Chain A
Amino acid sequence: MRDIAWGWLWMAPWVLVLLSAAATMVPNRRRQSTRVGRLVLLHTGLLWLPVLASLAGLLFAPAPVVWGPWRLDRLGFGLSLYIALLSLMIQAFSVRYLHGDRAYARYFAGLTGVTAAAAATWMSGNLVLFACGWAAMGFFLVWLIASKREWAPVRAVVSLSAACFATSALSVAAAVVWLALATGSWNRMTAIHHAATLSPEVRLGISLLLVLAALIQAGGWPFQRWLMESAVTPTPVSAVMHAGLVNAGGLLLTRMAPVFDGSGLAGHLVLLGFAWLSVAIGTGAMLVHADYKRQLVASTMAQMGLMLVQCALGVYSAAVVHLVLHGLFKATLFMRSGSVVPRPDQPRLTASVHPPRAGRAVSAVGMVALAVILGAAYWAWQPGSPTRALSGLFLGAGIALAWRQLAAVRAGRWLGLAGVAGAVMVAEWVRAHLDIWVQTALPAAHTNLGTSATLAVTVMAFVLFAGTALAFAVAHTRPTARAAMRLYLWLAALGEARGAAVEPHPQYLADYAKEAVLK
């Protein structure tokens, strides 16, 4: 009885916002009318309800609530809260940002659909529902991208992403059907608990299907193209895509952890390999490209690669925290992507007109070396979690960077340092608490890799990351060496959109102008 109440309490708000979003689409679709405006405002107001309901569930619901095909656990409520907040923030942004767009109402419907589908997926206790939720996310996203299909590149991107998401959905569907048939249960919890009893080949097979789905969704290599071309969508769609959709792969593996953990070293190494390549290519593409949205997109590829590396290391809590914080980070950066025009009249920060340049080339490599030393020391000091090695590496690089930056500034550098350090400490405190919370919300990991294998994977990840950074630094030092130029061109090409997804001049606007009336 109580379960039913909680179930309704959680679900009713989501259904309500889906209805209100659909309602905005009903009245005269082409013309902006005050009626649409009023409905949109009402709808964005209602978006607070899922936030509040999820928050209530998170704080007060007896975990887990099982209600029909739903399974509302603590992680589910947490994710639902995150998704509802994201949906609210992005749609509130869209009210003004997209005002006047021909597909104005459609964006709200699509954004609500995509977020509701995500929330449903992570709350499902039934494998069929899970797969349907997964497919619905992809469907709504493609539908959103297609909103401006009068623009030629959009049509190219729509067909590519439709193919990608269909593959990913089929892959998930195949995995859950296989799992259900092999374990004899369509209940997600029952099925994954029985996963340990399956033969290693079956576990590996299912895991590879899951990895495929996760890689496609995360825009990992070799499926990065759809992600790279998604710069064609309006900013709010990009925001929801990068904050709420690409990270589904990490959650998929987290939700299916017992199955994936059973895939043995082979499964983990496959994931690590692809994930690392995605980090390397994504980071490289971000470094070489010059337009802001492409940099953001490439960075997402790298960040999602990192999330999958964390899954490969079996540290799901770190992956979940990473994907949540990355979502907030990336959604914000997308929404403020209009603020990145440099102001030429900014007062200079450095003490003199010409900041010291000597030794810059050396220090690029030197900084990586410093980062490696600091990172290794940090890990050796307290080799607790496997991700600690990587965090140490990043932190070391951060310290090296800060040191180099501050060296050039005279006035105010201690104030600045204190500001940076304070901000970082607060953020770290938040991260640590989130991590602890996620750990308690997650069922205990069943990695049957063994310590030595875990250690091997960890060391391998460390070496791969440090090696990549070193390679970039070396290439940076000798940019016109043939190998460096090849690397540069490959990274640029991998981060590019296909020719079909580019149009030199947005021709559809000429048609808008031809069809326009006067205000």
Chain B
Amino acid sequence: MSQREQHSTHGHAHRVQTGGPKATREPVAATGSNVQTLSHPDWQELVRNSADAIAPLWPIATFIARHPWPELEHHPYAEVAHWLRDAQGIHLHPPASVVESAVANGEVAPHHLTRRLNAWLDAQPVPMPRDAAERACLALLWTFQTDLPPASATAEALADTLLQDSGAHARWQEATHPTRTRWTVTPLSKRLDGAAKAQSQDRDVRERRGASARGLAHELDVQTIRFCKLFFDDGQASWPLPGREAGFYAAWRQLTPLQPGLPRRVRQQIDHWPKTPADALERALVALDVPAADWEGYLRAHLLALPGWAGWALWQSRGAGREPSLLLEYLAVRVSLEWALCADHLDTRGGEPLRGAVRDADTSRRQADARRFAAQLIATWLRDGGVRAEDWSAMTADSQVACLDWLRRFVETDRWLLWLEAWEDAQADQLRAAIAETRPEDGPSRRGGLERTLAKTTDAVREPAKGGAKGAAGAADRPAAQLLLCIDVRSAIFRHYLEAAGPFETYGCAGFFNLPIRTRGLDSDYAHPACPPIVHPVVEVAETLATDGRDYRRRRNGARIVAEMFKKAKHSALVSLALPELSGPWLGVHTLFRTVLPARTGRWMRAFNRAASDKPATELSLRRPHEPQETHSEVSGLPIGMTTEEMVDIAAGLFQSIGLSEFAPLVVICGHEGESTNNPHASSLDCGACGGAAGQYNARAFAAMCNLPEVREGLAEAGFVIPGETVFAAAEHITTTDALRWLDVPPLPPAARSAFRSLEDVLLEVRHAANQARIAQLPVVQPRIRPFDEADRRAADWSEVRPEWGLAGNAAFVIGRRQLTARFPLDGRVFLHDYDWRMDLHGDRLASIVAGPVTVGQWINLQYLASTTAPHIHGSGSKTTQTVTGGVGVMQGNGSDLLPGLPWQSVAASDDALFHRPLRLLVVMEVPDEAVTQLLERDAAFRQKVQNGWLRLASVNPVTGEWRDWGAAASSVSLVTAG
């Protein structure tokens, strides 16, 4: 769609003209700065600033692990959580009942909490005697109640006495209900609703609200949703929204005056509304009586009302590589409509008096709230803190307010944050214990050769001890095969059983294998950015036929035509009426088979599809073509293929960062993919590092690249000598069933062939063992099942809502040698990135691991965290009531915000039990302290994440085994500012 240029409108911006009857009374003459802002509003900047609270939303077909608040990392996590609580009513910290159950399960012990509480109390001035404060805090922490109990009569009386003091009253009002939160400004529609609720005994109001019985804010949201889902449709509706080529705002302005169901006054209002979004936005803001200084907060509140659709608009404008002009249009529509709805409401109620009434209602409600809260807090001091009423009265009004405010902060945020941190500490302790268990041996290293070479130069490294599972016999020391798998938490179980099954080494690295590429399948017009969203793809790798493909295309198209015809018929006015007769018998048989034999039918359908679209031999365009006219792709516009230097750099970089320098006869590059049926979020089970898609192209490209003689030459120069007999093969780890599917296996020399055979021999055994571990964690209907069959069924059954746990449970990210993590429990909670600090003396590799894979891990972690604690806004609701809309995302029920995150079923075992623990990612690095210091100095973005508590950082000294926490100070709670 085309976005219009808005700059031309700025010239008119100073002309403040408002619609409706109140036009002449609007506050044009406000403060000086106000006028100044009005005459040169930089709308793009204003929108960009207000959009810091939302995140772009990718299409569901390539579900991306998405940081819900990527632009807010320069604020402390705790502070952002507090703001979001006020702005959206969401609670990001683990809920009380969850904490209680974690305590009951023994996942967090009282001593963790006590330590955190003491540290927190030590770190700040406490307005009460320490023991009283500690008693009150402990009582509050251990009640697990969100709401305070009602206050006693004594406390009520004390509160009344205190609030009679006008100074104390004002300060307490400001503390509990800041006139304006710095961050968002409550929209008028919401305030009118609040006023109406306050006067709900006034029958007149209720009657007049008529159509908007659920309030103006709700009506505004509903209208926005209705328009967004039709406007943003991507081919699912066969009759597109008329005039949408003209742009979001223009189409809305053209259609709204004709829209049935809107009050006439609203339609007339829009009919005379400005033609450009910037003018419209300005006119609406002025009409709504929002001071220019509040515009940013006002717009932010509007964006946070439906963060999904706003995020989709943001993604669309980013994709077009433009300023957020679509977001400006979105805001223009929302705020204009808000004004039109409110104006209609105010007109019928008689404008100014109602505005006054709103203000009065706001004030009286605030005062009542503040008074009740003060009484409850005083009651807490008296009851739990053991403060006597006489002592309380003896304090000055100032100290009383200080005591109240201190406890208010604790009640609202800090106590939940303390529990979060205590739980995180407990979990870190667990990990630390698992690592400590492996330390004393400090070996045997599987990289014997390297270690021996290095041992001569580095005193720190002890000569590896003889013995151990794999290194027993000298020559057999060398592994038969090495497998490179994704860091994904699901790889850990598979890796463990593979290593146990034979002379196989596994390595963890980000599953895009360092390739900044877009991949394009055979005959496809879509070049997928197969790298993390923070990496910009610079080349395209396309799949081309190696042989004649006519037969394949005929077969594939033949099957596709039947499916396409069905789809087209469904969307045709006349044919759709005959479709039940034409397809009903077939669909009936299909459903009956799915019912009787769910797993087998699913497998048959998949086998049929595979037979129909089984590709003949293909190759990937790795090398940059020589002919200049062929160097750029007509689909993505990127260069096709890579130069030899690029390939060598990519491969050397990866080998260096995972510490791989000696190569086995067979090296298997494994991408990964989930396998599920009838699952709109199927891509959320795929590789997050490959941009929410299966990692097969990246694996194939990397393997093929390493088999190229010129690349091997370059690698040898860079110090990575790959023996001539070593072959790289590509495979795919199917995470749902823990099967390994071969993608590309080149002709194998004898050593590689025997390695291949021995690997093939154990795959089934590994699969059985991994299935057993994985199925044990999943909720099952029938307790007695065979794990192997069950995993198989889950992948193929169309009624399965939890095919696998995906990345649920993710909690930590370990960067270090494999033996460090060998004793970890097999519960799929840890991202494992192999890394050997001795091969990275300058810390460059560590820096790139932190910038790439760790960031991906952090995004995944925050997405799971937000989907768990705010499933209604940051999740995507229950799978059972989801509806796919516009081919771009999901909504709930009859329509909703475009829901961005994971379904409820992907984080919860049932409606009553969470599976995912909403904790922040713990990053553990096996490096000397200096390396961490250096990293934090170099990487400002990462330092910010650590300091502001967006993730936690610890290091394990590779020599001494000492564990060190690098978190922000003693406790990040001290960073919380009130409001």
- Answer whether A and B are interacting partners: yes
A residues bordering B, Cβ < 8 Å?
30-32, 34, 37-38, 40-41, 85, 88-89, 92-102, 148, 151, 153-154, 157, 228-229, 231-236, 279, 283-284, 286-295, 299, 302-303, 306, 321-322, 324-326, 328-333, 335-349, 353, 368, 371, 390-391, 393-395, 397-398, 401-402, 405-406, 409, 411-413, 415-420, 423-424, 426-428, 430-431, 465, 468-469, 472-473, 475-476, 479-480, 482, 484-486, 488-490, 492-493, 496-497, 499-510, 512-519
Nearest opposing residue in chain B for A305, CB measure: B577
> Which residues from chain B sit less than 8 Å from chain A, CB to CB?
59-62, 90-91, 95-98, 100-102, 105, 107, 146, 211-214, 218-219, 221-222, 225-226, 229-230, 233-243, 254-255, 258-261, 305-306, 520-526, 528, 550, 553-562, 564-565, 568-588, 590-592, 594-595, 598, 613, 634, 677-680, 682, 693, 779-783, 797-802, 868-873, 875, 877-887, 891-897, 904-905, 908-915, 917
Q: CB-CB < 8 A to A339: which residues of B?
A: 677-680, 798
Docked Cα-Cα span, A332 to B562, in Å, equals 17
Considering residues A37, A279, A492, A506, which has the most beta carbons from chain B within 10 angstroms of its beta carbon? A506
How far apart are the CA atoms of A368 and B573 in the complex, in Å? 10
Could you tell me if A519 and B897 are in contact, using CB atoms closer than 8 angstroms? no
Residues of B within 8 A of A333 (CB): 587
Nearest Cβ in chain A — how far from B905, in angstroms?
7
The answer to whether A232 touches B799 (Cβ under 8 A) is: no
Q: Do B591 and A302 have beta carbons less than 8 Å apart?
A: no
Q: How far is it, in angstroms, between the C-alpha of A303 and the C-alpha of B579 when the chains are bound? A: 10
Look across to chain A and name the residue whose beta carbon is closest to the beta carbon of B693.
A345
Q: Once the chains bind, are B911 and A398 in contact (CB under 8 Å)?
A: no
B580 to chain A, nearest CB (A): 4
Partner of B895, one of A291, A330, A405, A482: A291
By the criterion CB–CB under 8 Å, are B526 and A502 in contact?
Answer: no
Mind listing 6 A-B residue pairs with CB under 8 Å? A99-B801, A401-B575, A419-B558, A479-B242, A516-B908, A518-B105
B870 to chain A, nearest CB (A): 7
The answer to whether A302 and B105 have CB atoms under 8 Å apart is no
Top 4 A-B residue pairs of the complex, sorted by shortest distance between their CB atoms: A416-B561, A415-B558, A325-B584, A412-B557
Question: Which residue on A lies nearest to B215, using beta carbons?
Answer: A499
A286 touches B523 (CB 8 A): no
Given the contacts A394-B577, A409-B561, A493-B260, A88 and B595 also touching, CB distance less than 8 Å = yes
Q: Are the C-beta atoms of A287 and B237 separated by less than 8 Å?
A: yes
A-side binding surface: helix, strand, loop or mixed?
A: helix
CB contact between B884 and one of A95, A291, A335 (< 8 Å): that residue:
A291
Residue pairs across A and B with CB atoms within 8 Å: the count is 459
Please give the distance in Å from B743's CB to the nearest CB on chain A.
Answer: 16
Tell whether A485 pairs with B242 under 8 Å between CB atoms, given A302-B576, A397-B572, A412-B553: yes
A412-B561 in contact (CB<8A): yes
CB pair B229–A290 under 8 Å, yes or no, is yes
> What's the nearest-Cβ distance from chain A to residue B114, in Å?
21
Q: For residue B896, which residues in chain A have a CB less than 8 angstroms away from its CB?
A: 502-506
B259 close to A489 (CB less than 8 A): yes
| Distance of A430 Cα from B233 Cα, bound (Å) | 37
**Whose C-beta in chain A lies nearest to the C-beta of B256?**
A489
- The 8 Å CB contact of A287, one of B239, B524, B634, is B239
Contact A37 B783 (CB under 8 A): yes
Asked if B562 contacts A419 (CB within 8 A), the reply is: yes
Point out which of B523, B557, B571, B586 has the most chain A C-beta atoms below 10 A from its C-beta.
B557
- Would you give the shortest CB distance from B598 to chain A, in whole angstroms? 8
* A100: chain B residues within 8 A (beta carbon): 779, 801-802, 905, 908-911
> Does A398 lie within 8 Å of B261, measured CB to CB?
no
A234 touches B798 (CB 8 A): no
- State whether A290 touches B97 (Cβ < 8 A): no
> Is A96 touching B586 in the complex (CB atoms < 8 A)?
no
Task: Contact check, B97 vs A514: say whether CB atoms are below 8 A apart.
Answer: yes
Instruction: Kindly provide the distance from the CB of A324 to the nearest chain B CB, expressed in whole angstroms.
Output: 8
On chain A, the residues within 8 Å of B882 by CB distance are 338
Q: Measured between alpha carbons, how far is A514 from B870 in the docked complex, in Å?
A: 9
**Among candidates A287, A345, A406, residue contacting B573 with C-beta atoms closer than 8 Å:** A287
Q: With the chains together, A148 CA to B881 CA distance in Å?
A: 10
Which listed residue, A231, A473, A509, touches B875 by the CB 8 Å rule? A509
Contacts of A306 in B (CB 8 A): 577
Which of A99, A338, A426 has most B Cβ within 10 Å?
A338
A291-B884, A489-B255, A517-B97 known; A349-B591 Cβ under 8 A:
no
B239 close to A509 (CB less than 8 A): no
Across the interface, do A349 and B560 meet the contact criterion of CB distance under 8 Å?
yes
Give 14 new A-B contacts, CB below 8 A, not counting A293-B883, A415-B561. A37-B782, A291-B885, A291-B895, A341-B60, A344-B59, A344-B526, A401-B565, A413-B561, A416-B565, A420-B565, A427-B585, A500-B214, A506-B878, A506-B892
B61, B235, B523, B892: which has the most chain A beta carbons within 10 Å? B892
A489 to B255 Cα, complex, angstroms: 8
Contacts of A398 in B (CB 8 A): 569, 574-575, 578, 582
A401 with B576: CB separation less than 8 A: no
Q: What CA separation (Å) do A304 and B557 show in the bound complex?
A: 34
B884:A337 contact, CB within 8 angstroms: yes
* Chain B residue with the shortest CB-CB distance to A318: B581
Q: Which residues of A contact B590 (CB under 8 A)?
A: 332
Known: A287-B238, A338-B680, A348-B525. A368 touches B574 (CB 8 A): yes
A485 x B914 contact (CB < 8 A):
no
* In the bound complex, CA of A97 to CA of B258 (Å): 42
Kindly list chain A residues whose C-beta atoms are within 8 Å of the C-beta of B897. Answer: 504-505
Of chain A, the residue at the smallest CB distance from B572 is A401
Residues of B within 8 A of A485 (CB): 242-243, 254-255, 258
| Chain B minimum-CB-distance residue to A434 | B585
- Nearest A residue to B911 via CB reads A102
Q: Is the CB of B574 within 8 A of A397?
A: yes
Are B583 and A329 neighbours in the complex by a CB distance under 8 Å? yes
A291 to B569, CA, bound (A): 17
- Which residues of the partner chain B approach A287 to less than 8 Å between Cβ atoms? 237-239, 571, 573
- For B575, list chain A residues within 8 Å (CB): 394, 397-398, 401
With a cutoff of 8 Å between Cβ atoms, the chain A residues found around residue B780 in the complex are: 37
Q: Are A424 and B585 CB-contacts (below 8 A) given A85-B592, A338-B680, A499-B222? A: no
Chain B residues with CB below 8 A from A291, complex form:
229, 236, 883-886, 891, 895
Q: Which residues of B contact A99 (CB under 8 A)?
A: 779, 781, 801-802, 910
Please tell me if the beta carbons of B230 and A290 are within 8 angstroms of each other in the complex: yes
User: Closest chain B residue to A40 by CB distance?
Assistant: B781
Residues of A within 8 Å of B587, CB to CB, are: 328-329, 332-333
Asked if residues A348 and B912 are in contact (CB atoms below 8 Å), the reply is: no
Q: Which residues of B contact A326 (CB under 8 A)?
A: 580, 584
A509 CB contact (under 8 Å) in B102, B225, B878: B878
Closest residue on chain B to residue A470 by CB atoms: B573
- Other-chain residue from A347, A371, A415, A417 in contact with B524 (beta carbon distance below 8 A): A347
